[in-house]
Amino acid sequence: MSWLSRLLTPREGPEEPGLREVIANLGATPVEAAQVRAEVTVAGVIAETSPGDAASGLHVRLTDDTGTMGLVFLGRQEVPGIEEGRWIAATGRVAESGGQRVIFNPRYELLTGGTRMRKQGEGRRLEGAPVDGNQPPTDGEETAPALPTPSGAFAQLAAEDFDVMASMGGVRGLLESVIPGLVFVVVFIATRELVPALIAASAVAVVALAARLLVRQSPAMAFGGFVGVMIGVIWAWRSGDAGDFFVWGLYVNAAYAIGVLISILARWPIVGVLVALLRNTWDSWRSSPAYPRYVAATWIWVGLFALRLAVQLPLYLTGQVGWLGTARLVMGVPLFALVLWVTWLLVREPAGREAPEGTPRP
């Protein structure tokens, strides 16, 4: 008999009930029967916990005697009571991530009982491998595709406590965002030569990307910054104008401002969309009492992008490269984090409060 089977077997005599009996009393859904997009309560034992970085959150592997379910607490690296060997009941909408079934930011309850298990590995991510060879249901039933779940800085919108460093991508994310532009401005002002500044900025971007790859971390953020730097380098090199190093950012902010504004006019404010995806409230968020706050928060993001353009575009047109670079740095990650914090203040509330009310907006 496996350790999991022994753990799930009810105990005899006056001792506390076994986990299988507790699960039965809860009326929880067996993990193997939990379908993607379904709102379920699953219960089992925490087989593994794996803290991610500041943005990706805490990953937990829950098992019962039928299979394995991932639980992801976005924006958090630890959750009180969540530790290996504890019994837990978790409620939320099942999604699919990386080919595995997961529940993001579940409502949870720690169950009475549970014993410590020997830790079988450290620092491992969720693999989601079924226990004892059990597989997710393959009875031919069609399930709707899982909705994508925002990650990175925007995962903070579903966090109980706002983490400033996580909103900036952690220390490494902050450095990767700031240093290439800073190096370009410093070298250009010091030398008044375009080529050395372009080489220096390119070198920093390459080193940042290589560092991510060497330590086998997700290169997504560094790669995005690398592409932006390379576009700026190519445009500035071809035109011979140092200001063109920053012009890509102007286009990006203009596109964001237009896109976010359209989301408001279409009555699908982007902040509401992100929160709904994070909290698994896609079916009810547009009829939620929080909808006006989603709209207000989205207007703040329109203001952010418009303010960047209002300040930086005149500096670009008048060729004030030093001031333009300084404005890019000040109005970049620090201002982004500030607006994200204000957004979090506007939309924060437990996921369980999102309930349908009235008719969804057209």
Cα separation, 18 vs 279, whole angstroms: 31
| Residue 149 Cα distances to 32, 80, 116, 268, angstroms | 22, 24, 32, 17
Q: Kindly report the backbone phi and psi dihedral angles of residue 168, in degrees, each rounded to the nearest multiple of 5, phi listed first.
A: -105, 10
Q: What pLDDT is stored for residue 269 in this prediction? A: 96
Nearest to 95 by CA among 221, 271, 282: 282
Place of tokens 């949870």: 108
Nearest to 356 by CA among 294, 271, 270, 289: 289
Q: Count of alpha carbons within 13 Å of 37, Cβ hemisphere only?
A: 10
Largest Cα–Cα distance in the chain?
84
Cα separation, 96 vs 137, whole angstroms: 14
Q: What pLDDT is stored for residue 270 in this prediction? A: 95
- Residue 343 belongs to what H/E stretch? helix 333-347
Q: What pLDDT is stored for residue 9 in this prediction? A: 47
Work out the number of other CB atoms within 10 angstroms of the CB of residue 265. 8
Tokens at 61, concatenated: 């592997």
Tokens at 285, concatenated: 């968020």
Q: What pLDDT is stored for residue 108 in this prediction? A: 85
Q: What pLDDT is stored for residue 17 in this prediction? A: 54
Tokens at 201, concatenated: 């900025």
Q: What pLDDT is stored for residue 208 in this prediction? A: 82
Say whether 266 sits in a helix, a strand or coil: coil
Q: What is the dihedral of CA 263, 266, 268, 271, to 10 degrees?
A: 30
Sign of the alpha-carbon torsion through 326, 332, 336, 339:
positive
Q: What pLDDT is stored for residue 307 in this prediction? A: 97
* Burial zone of 100 (CB within 10 Å; 0-12 exposed, 13-18 middle, 19+ buried): middle
pLDDT beneath 70: ranges in the chain: 1-20, 22, 52-56, 75, 112-152, 169, 215-222, 349-362
Q: What pLDDT is stored for residue 38 in this prediction? A: 83
* Burial zone of 190 (CB within 10 Å; 0-12 exposed, 13-18 middle, 19+ buried): exposed
* Burial zone of 280 (CB within 10 Å; 0-12 exposed, 13-18 middle, 19+ buried): buried
Q: Count of alpha carbons within 13 Å of 13, Cβ hemisphere only?
A: 1
User: How many residues are there in the chain?
Assistant: 362
The pTM of the full predicted model, rounded to 2 decimals, is: 0.61
Cα separation, 60 vs 103, whole angstroms: 10
Q: Which residues pair with 89 in a beta bridge?
A: 43, 109
Cα separation, 58 vs 123, whole angstroms: 11
Place of tokens 């991508």: 169
Q: What pLDDT is stored for residue 207 in this prediction? A: 87
Sign of the alpha-carbon torsion through 73, 76, 77, 82:
negative
